Structures are given as C-alpha cells and as structure tokens.
Amino acid sequence: MSLATAAAAAEALPSAQRRLLATAGVWIILIAAPFWMPLVGGYTDLGTRVIVLGLAAMSLNFLLGYTGMMSFGHAAYFGLGVYGAGLILKDVTASTPLALVAGTLLGGIAGVVFGRLIARTRGVAFAMITIAFQQILYYVAYKWNGVTGGFDGLRGFVRQPIHLGPLVLNIRSNDLVFYYFVLAIFALAVGAMGLILRSPFGRTLLAVRENQRRARFLGIDVNRHVWLSFSVSAFFIAIAGALYALLNNFADPSSMYYVLSGQFVIMAVMGGMRTFWGPLLGAAVFVVLQNYFSSITLNWLFFVGLLFVLVVMFFPRGLLGIFQRRRAA
C-alpha cells in the first residue's frame, strides 16, 4: 500500500508542478504587462480593460463552465455593478472603496433574487429567462433618466484617490497605479473563486454539470446548487462591473445589454470554458482584436466572430485547450 501511495504521489507531482508553473506564468505576465505591452503596441489602459473583462468572463464561467448552466443575461449584474459604483461616486460620496462595495452588493443581491426565480428551469428556458430579466433591467436603466441618465448615460463622476493613512494611491490620474489597483482586486476575486471551486461545494458543482440526474440520486439538491452558483457568479461579475465604472468614469445602458452578455460567452468559450484561466485568455484575445480592428473598420465584430467560429470548429476546448491537448499527447 505504501509503495502504491508513493507511486501515485510521484505521478501526481509533475501535474501539480505544471499547474503551479502555469499559474506563476499568468501572474508574471499580468504584473509585468505595463512594461512589455508598449513594446508590442499596447498601452496600460488596454491591459486594465483586459483584466476587468477577464474577471467578468471568469465569473460567467463559474456558472457556465463549472455548473453547466448557460446564461445570456449576466451583463445585467455587470451593469448593476457599473451603475452602483457610479451612483455612489456621483450622488453619495467621493469614496472609491464604498463605490466598489456598493456596486458589488447591488449586482450580487440582484443575482441572488433573480437566481432564486431562475434556478428551477433548465436548458433553453434557463437561458431565455436570464435574457428576459436582463432586458427588464436594461429598459429600467434606459428609461429612468432622473437616476441613470437614460440613453445619455450616467456622467459627472470620477474615481478618487484612496487614502491609506500616510499613503495615497493616486488611481485618479496615474494609469499605472490604477492598473495595479485593479490587478490587486482581480487577485483577491480570482483567489476567492479558486478556493470556492476547490472546496466540496465546488466539486459538487462539477457533479451537477456532468449529470444532474445522478447528482439527485446522490442526494444533492441540484436547484439549490444552481441558485448558489448563479448568486456567486453574479457577485463576482458585479465586482468587474464596479471596476469597469472606475475605468471609464461613465455608466450607460449598454453595460447591461444582451450584446455584452454574448461577448462574455464568446470570451469564455473561445478561451476554454472548462478551464480556470481560459476565459481570461479569451478576454485578452477579444479585447486586443476589438482594439485593433475597430481602428480599421466599423465591422470589427465580423473578424472576432470569424475567429470564434474557427476556434469552436477546430479547437472545441478553446484556445487554452490547445496546450492541454499537447500536454496530454
């Protein structure tokens, strides 16, 4: 028994080392991004946008890739995070931390409420109801001119420096400081996400994804786990929305439109929806292609869509799945 255990441990060690090296590589790339991006034609704000949208795609993937439930309405909770942060900065107090908390709570609590109503449905019905709730919130934001600014959006707020005793983080006018501030929030969010997915609850979500009927036979309350997964996913994507408000110093109804939900799905699937870091890679590819082709043509989405179709056809596991397949071979 001891020899078998030792052999199994020895066999598992290289895999653990590969995961550790891959994770370290991701963080090295992200930490050094402001210094190497200008060398390839990028800029700091572009890296910040990748991190924010990458967090949004990873949040959706918590529900899509790890629970197996498709949502085309997650931009609703992203948009609520945007408006929550913007309204605090504009109408309540010039506090960036309070804006982040407010945006996260607004989007997350809405996800808890709507998720409770959605969790009993499955398949196409689940996806369509998520769109329905999203469109309700979208039209509220579009028509409520006195609060949201309506079609013109919410203006008149700007992210504020953060005072930590004698230390001041000038995230208002220093793009580099703001990048690392967003990266720190991203690190906390994905760290929490990783802990949840490695917990017994996270393993149960995989069981629900693989076979819901068998999960019920094992005594798992599938509806409850779908609801909890939806709620957690909404909280994480609301964090991304609040950061997006700070990035743009602006909020408008397009931040909760169904087109943006579709873009989150594209990012997750293109990068690899059954991998942890795949959606971040998908977001990076999407944002870079959008930035490049939108400077050439208004039909930039055609090129992104073409790449998405090619990835789905030839690499069904996503871009990150290419490396996993080579490693398995």
- DSSP one-letter string for 134-172: HHHHHHHHHH-HHHH-GGG-B-S-----EEETTEEE-TT
Give dist(CA 87, CA 251) in Å, integer. 9
Closest alpha carbon to 242 in 118, 103, 139, 117: 103
Lowest mean pLDDT among 47-61, 155-169, 192-206, 260-274: 155-169
Contact between residue 308 and residue 270 where contact means Cβ atoms under 8 Å apart:
yes
Contact between residue 320 and residue 281 where contact means Cβ atoms under 8 Å apart:
yes
For residue 13, the model assigns a pLDDT of 47
Cβ of 50: how many Cβ atoms within 10 Å? 23
For residue 14, the model assigns a pLDDT of 59
pTM reported for the whole predicted model = 0.92
For residue 46, the model assigns a pLDDT of 94
- CA angle 235–257–77, rounded 5-degree value: 10
Average pLDDT of the chain is: 90
Q: What is the pLDDT of residues 131-180, one digit of tens each?
A: 999 999 999 999 999 899 988 899 989 999 998 888 888 999 899 999 99
For residue 186, the model assigns a pLDDT of 97
Tokens of 267: 């990012």
Domains of the chain with CATH codes? 16-328 (1.10.3470)
Lowest mean pLDDT among 49-63, 196-210, 220-234, 311-325: 311-325
Which range has the top average pLDDT, 15-19, 182-186, 272-276?
Answer: 182-186
6 burial level (CB within 10 Å; 0-12, 13-18, 19+): exposed
Contact between residue 176 and residue 41 where contact means Cβ atoms under 8 Å apart:
no
Contact between residue 238 and residue 77 where contact means Cβ atoms under 8 Å apart:
yes
77 burial level (CB within 10 Å; 0-12, 13-18, 19+): buried
Contact between residue 285 and residue 307 where contact means Cβ atoms under 8 Å apart:
yes
Tokens of 118: 């959605």
Q: What is the DSSP letter of 296?
A: T
Contact between residue 208 and residue 220 where contact means Cβ atoms under 8 Å apart:
yes
Cβ of 13: how many Cβ atoms within 10 Å? 10
Q: What is the DSSP letter of 297?
A: -
Contact between residue 60 and residue 270 where contact means Cβ atoms under 8 Å apart:
no
